[in-house]
Structure 1
Amino acid sequence: MTKKYILNKMDAGMQAKKFPQYIAALSVCLGSVAAGTVLGWTGTISTKLSAGELNGIYADQDMLGWIGSFATLGAMVMCFPIGFICDAIGRKWACLTTILPFSIGWLLVIFANGPGMIYTGRFLTGLAGGAFCVAAPLYTSEIAEKEIRGALGSYFQLLLTVGILISYIFGSEFSPQVLSIICVFIPVVFGLVFFFQPETPVYLLKKGDHAGALHSLQRLRGNNYDSEKELAEIKHHLDKDAENKVSFFQAIRTKASKKALVICMGLMAFQQLSGINAVIFFMGEIFEKAGGSIPYAYATIGVGVVQVVATFISSLVVDKFGRKVLLIGSAFFMCISGVLLGIYFTLSDRKLVDQTTIDKIGFIPIASLVVFITTFSLGFGPIPWMASSEIMPPEIKSVASSLAAMFNWFLAFVVTRFYNNLVSAIGGDVTFYIFAGVSLVGTVFVFIFVPETKGKSHREVQDILNGTHRIETKTSDGIDNLAYKNDAAFQ
């Protein structure tokens, strides 16, 4: 009995500690809060910018479009360089270097004496946010055990929405300049906290620093854990990837690669063309134009809270319900909410009913945007980014993921830059009808083309994309024998 107890204690001692991994993930994702404040900055201050409350600079509708879109333009520019930076100086220092453009960008906004300084500041903060959107998930995935990798990976999107909410809250109560002063301190706090975390063991092994990788893993797993064994496994996978490495143009010729690229690009397109960044960047303005009994700033904050809660729920249910079901439900209900919002603007802006009726249905804009943000956060918010890592073949993953991210931010730039122009040209109702139509097409796209990856290995996903069925048998001596056949069900 005593011997069994001792063995159990020894086994327990060999288990990796989870707490240091959670702390490391939360520390790096404090930078997500900084990136979120960039996205949410215009959410409740658009009218204040129009009134010249930022150093006496008056922003018309065209300027508001540029103020919103320069951040996405900066993020788009960084999609490719950040991958090389992560490999050159490490994941940790790639994250820490974002503090510089974050800080300079916010200082330019705080002391802006004209539109040019605001544009430059927004571009730099967007550049930092875009870099962080690549570097932070990479860091998290490389420091986490596979059993908790999904949970730790969800912190990035969750704390991004927290940053958006912070901008909504402080933007509703303070001037744009004070809001910017608050925002400039967030990346500094991130740097002070994250500075003491280790570099990833994967990166250190890639650089041939076995001792450094061992020390990093011991800090993340605890001294009683068999870190040498895990390091050997990591090195085995790194060596295997190096042996199988082929050029991007060779790898992209396979059926699986072509399908994966089309699916990822399609998901990114439907994510952005649903109008999500127009909603996030100009939510306060949308509520103000819609009217209603609830002050637009409070309505915006309320929707921001819903976004945080829905993103948290998504992290809990994505492995239970599967990716495809959540994507289909997300796109369908975004379509419904877009139609309802469009109908409201048709009735109000085109004076089809009297003001009394408009007041009675004043709940529709809030209800529609709550549904939109909730369902987006459950499906089309996190899953398109997840798809890049789950369905891309390893031979093209780094380049293809950067291409998908660049495409995503380019579409975000187009939507945020021309949203106000589109509303002025064709009306808010038609604009949201277009967004709803895109989401409806997205529903059909997911149903037909996107495979379910829940519970499937990476190899199984590649078989599905290739349109083959794997048949596993054993020979008389017990050796596995694999065969493949084309199967219409897998096409």
Structure 2
Amino acid sequence: MSSQEQHTQVKYSEVSPFQISDGFTRNTRMEPVKTIRIFIAAIAANISAFAVGTCLGWTSPMSPKLKAQDPTDSPLDRPITTEEDAWISSLVALGALIAPFVAGPLADRIGRKWVLLSSSVFFVFAYILMMVASEVWILYLGRLIQGFGVGFVMTVQPMYVGEIATDAVRGATGSLMQLFIVSGILYVYAIGPYVSYVALQWCCLAVPIVFDVIFFFMPESPYYYAGKGQKTDALNSLQFLRGQSMDVVQDEMTVIQGEVEEAMANRGTVVDLIRNTGNRKALIISAGLIVFQQLSGINVVLFNSQSIFVSADTGLDPAVAAIIIGAVQVGSSGMTPIIADRLGRKVILLISAFGMAIGLAALGAFFYVQQVVGDASNITWLPVPALVVFNIVYCIGFGPLPWAVLGEMFPANVKSVASSIVASTCWILGFIVTRWYPALDALGSYYAFWLFGIFCVVAFFFTLFVLFETKGLSLQQIQDKLNGKRSN
């Protein structure tokens, strides 16, 4: 073989996106995947995550308005109590833990795209309710309905993004959700303190409408079409997402069709999820990461940023401090899509757990000095950098990556069941933590933050000993690893 022929063969190997099962290559291998199209669809889907962020960050600027003694900028005619504030904060999680059991089956019946689009109905209705609320129970209902929308998005969005991406960019696209969630949080942090109560509801209501307009033009998941026997639609979806000719996407379509047919022939239930060794390992890993994500206390920080800074009495305007934290979250979340497929999930999660423990330990130490020792004047600078460290490492690791891992851990036949269970686990713990944080905080804020820090230490060792690296592995190779098989 001449050196020119060898060079040509190497070039073909480098750009080939697929390997033909019979060992032969085609000239169409020179058509690279246009990953920009995958990112366009993933970004469009993640505008729904931006809407989720507006719900999660809503209480931080709104609680001070609702608790104000002069209710001129509140829909209510009296200040809310601490107990009512706790319910307003936590009811989103309660709605979100119920929704996955509806969203998961619906995703298999009407498609991932239409379930995501339908989530906007909940967001729009909730913001209208909260705009016209005259009683606390209407705010409760609005937050509960917001939770349904959040649950729809958090269940189906990782499924959709995981199925439209190639192996090479799946980590990057999967971690976009956290970036968009924290961008939504920053949106309300930055606007909420400086506009009226009603104006913020209008600003938040616009987000799901924009999402529907943009995402309507994106393709459905090719996996969904393949499962419904709509091969032509699946091929068209792949062509849009890959930017390749029909000949090239036929190769990937064959792989997808095989995976879906196997999944349909072995349609899974909750029993199969528990009984199968690989599925059981995947559930332990995925649910475990989500559990530690919530036990890190992230929802307490998100829902109560302004209140935390008021309690800390740092001398910095609490609204400005919350905006700084929100900006840090956005900046650090933007790093994850860049590094997720370079460093790998496991390394980033280990760094994240360690960093969160340090940040929470420092924050707990500040409140201990303030509330027990009695004079924290020398360390009033500490809460902001402590929360900055916590938020940076959370947003590059335990924020996005548990959802990215969830999207790639399960075979198609149990994916919707598993997603529903894991998402509900997330929100059960989210509800418990946010609902009873005020009671724990009443004993001393340092108790709460040190307890969250201990959970982060446990998360470090869970990641170290239980999670395996999925960087660069195909979905099939991940399944082989979970089931103890040797990949080809």
Q: TM-score, normalised by structure 2?
A: 0.87
d(CA) in 2 for partners of 1:15 and 1:463?
27
Q: Which residue of 1 aligns with 2:395?
A: 377
d(CA) in 1 for partners of 2:276 and 2:229?
32
d(CA) in 1 for partners of 2:448 and 2:60?
18
Question: What are the within-5 Å matches in structure 2 for residues 66-77 of structure 1?
Answer: 66-77=87-98
Among 237, 241, 260, which residue is 2:259 paired with? 237
d(CA) in 1 for partners of 2:355 and 2:80?
34
Number of matched pairs:
461
Q: Judging changes above 3 Å, is the alpha-carbon distance between structure 1 residues 42 and 75 closer, same or farther for their aligned structure 2 residues?
A: same
After superposition, the C-alpha distances for 1:388-440 in whole angstroms (9 at most, x for unaligned) are 2344455544322321110111100111111112212x111111111112212
* 1:157 partner SS: helix
* 2:368 partner SS: helix
* Shift in Å, 1:460: 5.6
Q: Which residue of 1 aligns with 2:404?
A: 386
Q: Which residue of 1 aligns with 2:274?
A: 252
Check whether the contact 2:171–2:471 (CA below 8 A) recurs between aligned residues: no
Q: CA RMSD in A?
A: 2.6
Q: Judging changes above 3 Å, is the alpha-carbon distance between structure 1 residues 325 and 129 closer, same or farther for their aligned structure 2 residues?
A: same
Check whether the contact 1:269–1:408 (CA below 8 A) recurs between aligned residues: yes
Q: Which residue of 1 aligns with 2:22?
A: none
**Greater shift in the superposed pair: 186-195 or 142-151:** 142-151
Q: Judging changes above 3 Å, is the alpha-carbon distance between structure 1 residues 430 and 359 closer, same or farther for their aligned structure 2 residues?
A: same
Q: Which residue of 1 aligns with 2:188?
A: 167
* 2:261 partner SS: helix
d(CA) in 2 for partners of 1:98 and 1:82?
9
Q: Judging changes above 3 Å, is the alpha-carbon distance between structure 1 residues 136 and 391 closer, same or farther for their aligned structure 2 residues?
A: closer
Q: Which residue of 2 aligns with 1:327?
A: 349
**Greater shift in the superposed pair: 131-140 or 178-187:** 131-140
Give the letter for the 1:73 counterpart. L
* 2:59 partner SS: coil
* Shift in Å, 1:203: 1.7
* 1:199 partner SS: coil
* Shift in Å, 1:463: 6.0
d(CA) in 2 for partners of 1:90 and 1:462?
24
Give the letter for the 1:361 counterpart. I
d(CA) in 1 for partners of 2:42 and 2:459?
32
Q: Which residue of 2 aligns with 1:416?
A: 434
Q: Which residue of 2 aligns with 1:489?
A: none
Q: Judging changes above 3 Å, is the alpha-carbon distance between structure 1 residues 462 and 163 closer, same or farther for their aligned structure 2 residues?
A: same
Q: Judging changes above 3 Å, is the alpha-carbon distance between structure 1 residues 393 and 86 closer, same or farther for their aligned structure 2 residues?
A: closer
Give the letter for the 1:408 counterpart. C
Q: Which residue of 2 aligns with 1:22?
A: 39
**Greater shift in the superposed pair: 67-76 or 56-65:** 56-65
Check whether the contact 1:246–1:395 (CA below 8 A) recurs between aligned residues: yes
Q: Which residue of 2 aligns with 1:138?
A: 159
1:40 to 2:60 alignment: no
Q: TM-score, normalised by structure 1?
A: 0.87
**Greater shift in the superposed pair: 53-62 or 36-45:** 53-62
Q: Which residue of 2 aligns with 1:347?
A: 369
Q: Judging changes above 3 Å, is the alpha-carbon distance between structure 1 residues 246 and 155 closer, same or farther for their aligned structure 2 residues?
A: closer
After superposition, the C-alpha distances for 1:133-185 in whole angstroms (9 at most, x for unaligned) are 22222222333333333322222221111101101111121233221111011
* 1:363 partner SS: coil
d(CA) in 1 for partners of 2:202 and 2:59?
14
Q: Which residue of 1 aligns with 2:385?
A: 367
For structure 2, list consecutive stretches of 5 or more residues without a partner in the other structure.
16-26
Among 62, 75, 79, which residue is 1:55 paired with? 75
Check whether the contact 1:62–1:421 (CA below 8 A) recurs between aligned residues: no
d(CA) in 1 for partners of 2:29 and 2:280?
45
Q: Which residue of 2 aligns with 1:89?
A: 110
d(CA) in 2 for partners of 1:340 and 1:154?
27
Q: Judging changes above 3 Å, is the alpha-carbon distance between structure 1 residues 343 and 381 closer, same or farther for their aligned structure 2 residues?
A: same
Q: Judging changes above 3 Å, is the alpha-carbon distance between structure 1 residues 207 and 170 closer, same or farther for their aligned structure 2 residues?
A: same
Among 279, 286, 302, which residue is 2:308 paired with? 286
* 1:197 partner SS: coil
* 1:58 partner SS: coil
d(CA) in 2 for partners of 1:172 and 1:184?
17
1:429 to 2:446 alignment: yes
* 2:238 partner SS: helix
Question: What are the within-5 Å matches in structure 2 for residues 268-287 of structure 1?
Answer: 268-287=290-309
* 1:453 partner SS: coil
Check whether the contact 1:264–1:404 (CA below 8 A) recurs between aligned residues: yes
* Shift in Å, 1:67: 0.7
* Shift in Å, 1:251: 5.1
After superposition, the C-alpha distances for 1:16-61 in whole angstroms (9 at most, x for unaligned) are 4333333222222111111110011112332222013321342221
**Greater shift in the superposed pair: 155-164 or 214-223:** 214-223
* Shift in Å, 1:244: 4.3
1:151 to 2:172 alignment: yes
Q: Judging changes above 3 Å, is the alpha-carbon distance between structure 1 residues 216 and 330 closer, same or farther for their aligned structure 2 residues?
A: closer
1:262 to 2:284 alignment: yes
Question: What are the within-5 Å matches in structure 2 for residues 468-483 of structure 1?
Answer: 470=486
* Shift in Å, 1:214: 3.0
Give the letter for the 2:461 counterpart. V
d(CA) in 1 for partners of 2:273 and 2:296?
31
* Shift in Å, 1:340: 1.2
Among 441, 445, 461, which residue is 1:444 paired with? 461
* 1:269 partner SS: helix
Check whether the contact 1:248–1:395 (CA below 8 A) recurs between aligned residues: no
d(CA) in 2 for partners of 1:239 and 1:434?
47
Give the letter for the 2:74 counterpart. L
* 1:147 partner SS: coil
